Structure formats: C-alpha cells, structure tokens
Chain A
Amino acid sequence: MRIKFQQNLDELKERLLVMAGLVEQAIQRSTEAYSTRDTGLCEMVLRSEPAINRMEREIDQAALDLLAMEQPMAVDLRFIIAVIRINADLERVGDQAVNIAQRVQDLGMFANVDVPVDIPKLASLSSAMVRKALQAFIEGDADLAQSVLALDDQVDEMNSAAFKSLSTLIGQRPEMTPQALNALIISRNLERVGDHATNIAEDVIFWVRGADVRHGAIAEEE
C-alpha cells in the first residue's frame, strides 16, 4: 500500500473540492445578483476570480507532480486525469460567473424591465447540474454522474427558447435591446455552465468506470 501516495490523492481531491466551493459560490452570487440587481454581489464575484485562478494553477501543479513522481496506474491514473480536466472546467464555470456579474453590472445602467426568460430557473438547473456532478465526484458515483448528462438537454432547450423569445422582443421593442441582449448573454453563460457540469460528470464516469463517454460515444475498449 502506497500510503503517502494515497494521502496525496486524498489531498488533491480536497483541494479540488475547496475550489469547487468557491466556484459554486461565485455562480450562486452572480445569479442572485441578476435577480436582485445587487452590484455588491457582482463585486464579490469579480474579487473571487483571482483566488479561483490561483487554485487552478496549484491543483494542476499538484496533479503534474503526482504524475511525474508517482507514475500512477489504472484507477489512480484516471483519477488524476479526471482532476486535471475537472479543474479546468471549474475554472471556466468561475469565468461564466464573472461574465454574468459583468452583465448584471451593465444592466444597472438601464431600467429594470421584465424580459421573457426565466434566468433564475435556468440558473437553478445549471447550478444543480454542477452540484450533482460534484457530488458524484465526491462519492465516486458513476450512476449519479450519468444522471447529470440527461439534464443538459433541458438547459439547452431553455437557452434556445430564451434566444427565440428575446430575439422576438428585440424586434418588437427595440428600446429594450440592451436588457434583452444582457439576458441573452447570461442565458448563454448558464448554458455553458451546464456544459461544464456535463464535462465534469463525464470525467467522473471516466475515473470510476474507465469509460470515455464524451461526445455521446463510448470509446473502444481495445
């Protein structure tokens, strides 16, 4: 039993979960800021980005060190590869949170009007995908990860519906174009969050089962 190596793997997992906590908080704050138009929350999201970026670099380095020094095999190798991929996806979820926060700040310059897109619902669904994917990672539960994949279609459909309704709104009410465009971009940001959650879930399946299910395909075993 390679005790120190196992401890290092546990530590890597903990660090990734700390980063995941920061990212989840950022996305939650940015979407709440949209609902409340609270620019203070937006500031908090923007301030959290350097810490997320720093953690991404640290986790990558720790994973690289383990690959180089321990030369892991099989499930351990897949775990570290999954951590590296999940790390990148989490950082990008953090970027989406920053983008949303910036859109909310921009919205502050315009009248607060109702637009025909349910951003809180979309945010709730995409955040739930991230949470579920991370739960699957914590528990090493490939079945739970598999259930995340199905949710992505719902998020994609909501984003497509938002595009249609907001395009129509811009045609009918040109004076609402800035609000509609910001809402459209936020909808797109949340759809990307769902994509990253999907990637994380796929990485969990890769780690646990050794199966590559990305892009809807199962890699050849041979």
Chain B
Amino acid sequence: MGVDIHVENLNAWYGQTHTLKDINLQIPANHATALIGPSGCGKSTFVRCLNRMHETNPIARAEGTVRIGDIDIYKDASPVEIRRRIGMVFQRPNPFPTMSIYDNVASGLKLNGFRNKRVLDEVVERSLKSAALWDEVKDDLKKKSGASISGGQQQRLCIARALAVDPEVLLMDEPASALDPVSTAKIEDLIFELKSQYTIVIVTHNMQQAARVAENTGFFLTGTLVEFGKTHKIFTNPSDKRTEDYITGRFG
C-alpha cells in the first residue's frame, strides 16, 4: 500500500544554484499527485529529492526533511533501501537493452538477493500484469530483449520493473512525453489503476494529463512551490495569479 509523503523545508542546490527553496508539502497516500511548471522550475529536482537521486550528482546537495511513511529518508534509510521503497520511471524508457523482458523485471529482486525461481516467476507475472503488459509479452518473456519491444511497451516494462520490488511510492518524471497518444492513454489508465496500491507522484508538462490523472496538483516556479491543491481547483480557479498565468498560457 502507498504511504503519505511529508516534505518540510526542503532546499536543494546544484553547485551554487539554489534550485529548490523551502518546499513544504504533504502528498497523500494512494493518490496521484501531479507536479507542473515551466522548464527549470525545480519539479524534477523535487522528485529526485524524494528518492535521494538528486545527491547522486557530485555538485548537488539537499537539506530538509522528507518522510516517506514513517521513515525520514535523509536520516533513517540507505539510498538502496529508499529506492526499493520508491520506484521511479523516467521520460525516456530505459530498459536494460541486453536483458530479456523477464530479466528486466526480475533485476531489482535479483539485486536484492532473490534467487527462488518460483517466486521470481510469480513476481514477474504479477508486475507485468500490474503494468498492463503481460498479455502482450507473456509468450516472449525470455526470447525478446527489453529493447526490442515498442516505446510504449518499454515504458510499461520500466513500470513493471519498478513495481517488482514492491515499492510504496512510484515517482514518474514525464513518463508519457516520449510516447504516442495510444501509449500515453495506456500509461494514464495504468496510473489510474495503480494509485489504489501506490502513492504516485508524476511530473508532467502536459496539463491536460495532470488534470486527467491526478487528484492533487502542485505548481512550481523558479524553485518555489507556488500553489498546491485539488487538481480541479488548480485548473478551474487557481488561487495564485502566477498559477493562472501559467496554466492559461500567458507565460511559460
């Protein structure tokens, strides 16, 4: 099941550049939350701070509190443990190209020491079913490589890979921006299905997509969280003029 995410006074830097400024935010469990904003506003940096991926860049650092459920990820857990609890899907599908579909999905578990074939088979099947990909690849699990399927299928394979380690949170950084409309619709349907089991945070430039999939939406601008609230409110009657100017296309 998903867990709440509490963010308090989160600040982040790339070198001297202060990219996130005093972010305070509560993301509810088992909901999809969309983050929108112009390029460079800090929304991707923000999600990378939720799984400590931001700090993998040697010039980057972050300060503040991020609690995933009851764990303060900057104090109570190792990056490996965090990434097991928090899956991430990126803009470009990034399956392991030399691995089979099966091994792509099983890779996280194998990395964590699982070797029992029956368990791995079950997890691979369950994960691919959860990612709405099973029916399309079940006959080629070990024959085809992760790179040999379509872009939309590759993205769902990456989602299956993320789900295989049984995370509580799924971070999605523009997961459909490189996909055609049919594949995009499948990803959006998937988000709708998955949010009953996971807490989903999705970064998107596509505001209609945010409106379709997310119950809550946050608007970032120049490293600050300008507004956070119910998606229908943000898109019909935002409280802040800057939010309104952005979503109506008056800037950005």
Contact = CB atoms under 8 A, between A and B. Distances in A.
Interface in B125-177: none
A74 interface: yes
Contacts of A138: none
A1 B250 contact: yes
A75 B250 CA distance: 11
* Of B208, B236, B243, most A-chain CB atoms within 10 Å: B236
A62 to B, nearest CB: 18
Contacts of A74: 235-238, 243-244, 247-248
B207 interface: yes
Given A1-B250, A2-B248, 9 more contacts: A2-B249, A71-B208, A73-B236, A73-B247, A73-B248, A74-B243, A74-B247, A75-B244, A221-B233
A78 B233 contact: no
Interface of A: 1-2, 5, 71-78, 210, 221-222
A5 B233 contact: no
B110 interface: no
A78 B235 CA distance: 10
A72 B236 CA distance: 9
Interface residues of B, number: 15
Q: DSSP majority for the A interface?
A: loop
B230 A75 contact: no
Interface of B: 207-208, 230, 233, 235-238, 243-244, 247-251
Given A71-B208, A73-B207, A78 B249 contact: no
Contact of A222 (B230, B236, B243): B230
Nearest to B244: A74
A2 B238 CA distance: 19
7 tightest A-B contacts by CB? A210-B237, A2-B249, A73-B247, A74-B244, A76-B248, A73-B235, A74-B248
Given A71-B208, A222-B230, A77 B249 contact: no
Contact of B237 (A1, A5, A71, A78): A78
A5 B249 contact: yes
A1 to B, nearest CB: 6
B113 to A, nearest CB: 46
Given A71-B208, A73-B207, A1 B230 contact: no
Contacts of A1: 249-251
A213 to B, nearest CB: 13
Contacts of B237: 74, 78, 210, 221
Contact of B233 (A72, A76, A77, A222): A222
Contact of B236 (A2, A5, A71, A78): A78
A141 to B, nearest CB: 18
Contacts of B250: 1-2
A122 to B, nearest CB: 36
A119 B20 CA distance: 66
Contacts of B247: 73-74
A34 B243 CA distance: 52
Contacts of B251: 1
Contacts of B248: 2, 72-76
A72 B247 CA distance: 8
B247 to A, nearest CB: 4
A77 B208 contact: no
A75 B249 CA distance: 11
29 contacts: A1-B249, A1-B250, A1-B251, A2-B248, A2-B249, A2-B250, A5-B249, A71-B208, A72-B248, A73-B207, A73-B235, A73-B247, A73-B248, A74-B236, A74-B237, A74-B238, A74-B247, A74-B248, A75-B248, A77-B235, A77-B236, A78-B236, A78-B237, A210-B236, A210-B237, A221-B233, A221-B237, A222-B230, A222-B233
A73 B238 CA distance: 10
Contacts of B230: 222
